[in-house]
Every structure is written in C-alpha cells, then in structure tokens.
C-alpha cells in the first residue's frame, strides 16, 4: 500500500509483470492439485474410476462454462463475479474459529468487498474497459447516477470489516488472532487505494493461493500423506506446464492485436473457466475435513 501511494507510476509500470509472476509461481499450481484432492477423498474407488470421474467432470464443467462465455458473455461475467465472491471469501473465512453461520457471513461479505473494489475501486474506468471488452457493457454506467462517486468504494470497503466486527460482537467467547483483526482492515484498504491489477496480484498470490495450497496440504496430511511445498510443486508441475502453454498461446494471439485490455479480458475468462470446477472440488474438501 505504501508503494502504491509513494510510487504510483512505478507500480503501474510493473503491475503486469507482478501479475504474470503470481499466476505462474502460485496461481496456476494451487489449482493443479485438484485431481489428488479428489482421489484421496474417494479412497475406495478404483484408480480408473477416479480418473474418468475427475477428468470427465472437469472437462464438462469447463466446456459448459466456456460455451456460456461464448454465447452469453454477460452471463459468464456475472457467474464469474459470483463464484469469485464465494471462492475468495470461502477460502479465507474457513480459517476462522467461528460457527458455520458466522463463517458464511464472512465468506460473502469478504468476497463482496474484494470483488466490488476490484470493479469499483481505485481505477474503475480502467476495469470498466476490461469489462466492456468482455461483455460489451460498461460497468461505470451502472453507477453513473451515484454522486459523489467516492461513496461507492467507501461502502464496499466497509462491508467486510463491519461484518467481521459484528461477528466478534455476537460471539464474545471467541478470540481470533490480532492478525485477523488487522487483515479485516488491510484487505479493503489495499483494494480501495491500490492499483487494481497490483492489488489483485498481491492478494491472489499471498493471501489466497498460498494459503489455499497450505489448506490442501493440511487436508492431505490428515489423510496420512507426507507432503510439503516441494512435493506440491512436483505433483502440480505437469498440469501447470499445460496451463502455461495455454497462457503462452493466449499471449501470442492477443499480442498480434496489440490490445492489453483484450489479453486481460481473456486471461480472466481462462481463470474463471478453471475456477468453476475447482470450487466444487474445494467445497468437497471442506466438507470432508471433519470426517
């Protein structure tokens, strides 16, 4: 946040590089463990059944969502917002030692704050251009009647901290770490003040992907597996390389058009198509954590 405030031009010049590093180093790999999570969740099935079930499921989900993007881009985008709100909130709220209703509240309010501020945060016109490339609709047109504009990011930034404060107020027997209190402030401020691409990169890499990978490793340890971050990268290497090849093709195609907005739009389509089946695998993992 300090870098954003002191060196905004520098941050703008490196934001795409930081995004690329985050996606390559942890973003893609953290979703490439889904097949192992699925296999370990159904130990009594044969290897052939598990493989056919997993890859069939992934292929059908990705194809269906890809067709939705192709035929109804606005619907694809709205679904992307919904799954991102839930997935970001769910992955982060799961660590809190609260009851399920409190976790559900924190899941959606955290997701709303993050996704809302990505779209209507520090550079809404920039993000609106990407949304327009994706869907043909201008996201700024939806809030043009709200004056002054600063109320929008202010309200969005307050959603999660207020919900977190309410949960603490009504569950006085719980005393979460002070780091969680700080987190409830830092995340909204990061997206409200920071460059949107840079803020997303930092959050997606440091908060979401790394912590989510750690949660998956803890799940496998619970299943009596010896795992580590080294093991994680070894096991995800092949699928990550396939994803990198897809990204390279995407980059070459969009580079021919010289349109960075198009590249970012297609990148988020790719992320969304990979995220939809990933969410259901993760949800299954959370439900089995207690078993």
Token pair for 278: 């990933």
Residue 225 assigned ligand-binding role = no
Distance CA 242, CA 97 (A): 37
Q: Is the previous residue joined to 148 through a cis bond, with omega within 30 degrees of 0?
A: yes
3-state DSSP assignment of residue 256: helix
Distance CA 134, CA 168 (A): 39
Residue 30 assigned ligand-binding role = yes
Residue 208 assigned ligand-binding role = yes
Residue 87 assigned ligand-binding role = yes
Residues 272 and 78 sit within 8 Å (Cβ to Cβ): no
Distance CA 267, CA 255 (A): 13
What own/partner pairs with CB < 8 Å and gap ≥ 24 does 122-126 have? 122/153, 122/191, 122/192, 122/193, 122/194, 122/195, 122/196, 122/199, 123/195, 123/196, 124/149, 124/152, 126/196
Q: Binding site for Fe cation, residues?
A: 30, 87, 208, 212
| Feature table: binding site | 30, 87, 208, 212
């Amino acid at each position: 946040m300090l870098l954003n405030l002191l060196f905004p031009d520098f941050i703008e010049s490196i934001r795409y590089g930081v995004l690329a590093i985050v996606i390559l180093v942890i973003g893609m790999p953290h979703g490439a463990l889904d097949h192992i999570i699925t296999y370990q969740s159904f130990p009594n099935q044969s290897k052939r059944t598990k493989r056919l079930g997993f890859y069939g499921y992934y292929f059908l989900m990705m194809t269906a969502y890809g067709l939705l993007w192709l035929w109804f881009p606005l619907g694809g985008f709205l679904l992307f917002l919904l799954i991102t709100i839930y997935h970001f909130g769910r992955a982060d709220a799961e660590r809190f030692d609260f009851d399920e209703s409190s976790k559900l509240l924190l899941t959606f309010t955290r997701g709303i704050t993050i996704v809302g501020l990505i779209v209507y945060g520090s550079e809404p016109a920039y993000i609106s251009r990407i949304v327009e490339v994706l869907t043909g609709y201008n996201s700024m047109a939806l809030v043009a009647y709200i004056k002054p504009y600063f109320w929008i990011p202010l309200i969005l930034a307050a959603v999660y901290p207020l919900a977190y404060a309410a949960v603490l107020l009504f569950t006085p027997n719980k005393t979460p770490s002070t780091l969680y209190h700080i987190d409830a402030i830092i995340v909204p401020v990061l997206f409200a003040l920071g460059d949107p691409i840079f803020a997303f990169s930092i959050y997606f890499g440091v908060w979401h992907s790394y912590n989510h990978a750690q949660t998956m490793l803890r799940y496998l340890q619970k299943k009596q597996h010896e795992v580590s971050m080294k093991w994680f990268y070894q096991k995800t290497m092949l699928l990550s390389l396939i994803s990198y090849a897809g990204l390279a093709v995407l980059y070459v195609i969009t580079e021919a058009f010289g349109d960075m907005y198009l590249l970012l739009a297609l990148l988020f389509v790719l992320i969304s198509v990979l995220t939809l089946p990933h969410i259901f695998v993760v949800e299954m993992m959370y439900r089995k954590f207690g078993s």
